[in-house]
């Protein structure tokens, strides 16, 4: 049995790659500095060996091949041991293409925001329609049996990330995937640790767009100006436009009948008008749904089947996930780590739950957040929150803007939790936002409120 070892296994991409390797019959092991739910739970259920911390001894069984995660540097002790032993190594995206994607018809979902949710939607809709697709989702789907599956059908849906591939391969991940069809949701400046400007990111998107065959298609958001500029400069394949703002120049556009975007009239030049009434709030999720409908209808799913699937769609874990109502306080868990995503999530909760107060709880954890690249836009994103409890990690040194009157900053998660429990009262909605483990704050808050 071929032994594959993954350095950095607990990231959502690498963890799901581990599941695919197991499905192919590999023995899989891995290592990571931190393991936190939901990925730690997924790997544990699959009996995948995970070592905590990076150490040369993690390679003592001498795996046949090592997959090196994109957060792993050359100075990593396992990488050094791997090179000294002459073990074969590869990046995650390249392994995925060579072992699975090269035999599939590929749909790649890309953009600054909404990739995980839209990938989950498209995979679920294809599954619901009987296509038996393969997929790799950068999170935990609540509709599908697993977050990653090879699938017996022709199609494979994968989340396409513009972040670089590995310390030895600085191309964006999605440039490995050679898509037949691609979805571009939006394009904003992010990943300031590796990109200097939005133009740098735009260049990577242009490279990606030019991988599409003329027989394929590009599904693009007509409401995003910079994205449209990038598409116009690069597209060779047919472009299918969608608009959640009701722009009738789009091939697919929608009008919301409610403030929370749970009731949509969806219009298509080819498929007429259909109605979607579903349980997922927020303008951003409605845009994701419109992109997903346009995608699956373009590969043969009937529009009414697509709508029926979305009526049964459940948000991916940690994407506006409703954790429950505890002593009259509604708790939501979200992955938002960019000002646009933060504002969208706060707006969705405000319009869908109409809380007495909305309390945002926030950990600036991404590299762009940590170095303070978003500036005043970050504080403006929280304007609709009544109060913001922010945990400031030791590696965050920027100051809170004087305009951020609703911010309360804590240097300890324990202190934040104690003060938050004292603050909340019946009728409040609490929205927890972090793209990491947040020291298990979500479960600890739920437990504390249950005890109260």
Taking the C-alpha atoms of residue 190 and residue 68, their distance in angstroms, rounded to an integer, is 23
Residue with more model confidence, 226 or 129: 129
What is the value of pTM for the model shown? 0.84
Element (H, E) at 335: none
Residue ranges and CATH numbers for the domains of the chain are 3-91 (3.40.50.720), 100-311 (3.40.1190.10), 321-451 (3.90.190.20)
Among the listed residues 287, 348, 276, the one whose alpha carbon sits nearest the alpha carbon of residue 311: 276
pLDDT digits (tens, 9 = 90+) for 252-281: 999 988 888 889 999 998 899 999 999 888
Dist. CA 257–CA 235, nearest whole Å: 33
pLDDT higher than 70, residue 393: yes
450 confidence band (pLDDT: 50, 70, 90):
confident
Average pLDDT of the residues of the chain: 89
As a whole number of angstroms, the distance between CA 345 and CA 428 comes to: 16
Out of 47-61, 81-95, 117-131, least confident range: 47-61
DSSP calls for 9-62? TTSHHHHHHHHHHHHTT-EEEEEES---TTHHHHHHHTT-EEEES--GGGGTT-
Residue 433 pLDDT exceeds 90: no
Backbone φ and ψ of 157, nearest 5°? -110, 125
- Gap between the Cα atoms of 425 and 415, Å rounded: 18
Place of tokens 């009414």: 304
pLDDT (0 to 100) of residue 163: 83
> Residue 190 pLDDT more than 80?
no
DSSP-assigned letters across all residues of 141-171 = -SSSS-SEE--SSSEEEEEE--SEEETTEEE
pLDDT of 437 above 90: no
Between strands 387-391 and 155-160, the pairing is unpaired
Instruction: Supply the DSSP string of 363-375, one letter for each residue.
Output: ---SHHHHTTTTT
For residues 126 and 135, give the distance between their C-alpha atoms in angstroms, rounded to a whole number. 10
pLDDT, one tens digit per residue, over 160-185 is 988 889 999 999 999 999 999 999 99
């Amino acid at each position: 049995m071929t032994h594959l070892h993954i350095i950095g296994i607990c990231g959502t991409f690498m963890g799901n790659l581990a599941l695919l390797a197991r499905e192919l019959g590999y023995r899989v092991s891995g290592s990571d500095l931190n393991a936190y739910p939901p990925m730690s739970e997924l790997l544990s259920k699959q009996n995948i060996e995970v070592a905590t911390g990076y150490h040369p001894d993690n390679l003592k069984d001498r795996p046949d091949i090592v997959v090196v995660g994109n957060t792993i540097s050359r100075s990593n002790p396992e990488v050094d041991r791997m090179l000294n032993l002459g073990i074969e190594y590869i990046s995650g995206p390249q392994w995925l293409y060579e072992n699975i994607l090269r035999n599939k018809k590929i749909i790649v979902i890309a953009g600054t925001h909404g990739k995980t949710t839209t990938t989950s939607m498209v995979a679920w809709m294809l599954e619901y329609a009987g296509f038996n697709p393969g997929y790799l989702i950068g999170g935990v789907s609540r509709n599908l049996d697993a977050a990653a599956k090879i699938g017996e059908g022709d199609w494979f849906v994968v989340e396409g990330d513009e972040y670089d591939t590995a310390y030895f391969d600085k191309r964006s991940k999605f440039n490995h995937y050679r898509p037949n069809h691609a979805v571009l949701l939006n394009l904003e400046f992010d990943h300031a640790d590796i990109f200097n400007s939005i133009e740098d990111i735009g260049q990577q998107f242009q490279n990606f767009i030019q991988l599409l065959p003329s027989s394929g298609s590009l599904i693009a958001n007509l409401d995003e100006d910079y994205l449209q500029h990038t598409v116009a400069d690069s597209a060779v394949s047919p472009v299918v436009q969608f608009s959640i703002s009701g722009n009738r120049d789009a091939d697919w556009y929608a009008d919301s009948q409610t403030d929370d975007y749970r009731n949509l009239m969806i219009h298509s030049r080819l498929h007429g008008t259909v109605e979607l009434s579903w349980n997922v709030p927020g303008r951003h999720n409605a845009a994701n749904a419109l992109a997903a409908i346009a995608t699956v209808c373009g590969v043969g799913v009937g529009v009414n089947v697509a709508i029926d699937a979305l009526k049964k769609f459940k948000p991916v874990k940690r994407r506006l996930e409703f954790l429950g109502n505890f002593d009259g306080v509604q708790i939501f868990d979200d992955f938002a780590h960019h000002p646009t995503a933060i504002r969208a999530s706060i707006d969705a909760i405000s319009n869908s739950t109409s809380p007495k107060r909305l309390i945002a709880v926030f950990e600036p954890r991404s590299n762009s957040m940590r170095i303070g690249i978003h500036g005043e836009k970050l504080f403006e994103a929280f304007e609709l929150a009544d109060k913001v409890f922010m945990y400031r990690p030791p590696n965050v040194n920027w100051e809170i803007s004087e305009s951020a009157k609703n911010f309360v900053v804590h240097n300890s998660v324990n202190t934040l939790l104690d003060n938050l429990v004292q603050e909340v009262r019946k009728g409040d909605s609490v929205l927890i936002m972090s793209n990491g483990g947040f020291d298990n704050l979500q479960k600890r808050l739920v437990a504390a409120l249950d005890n109260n």
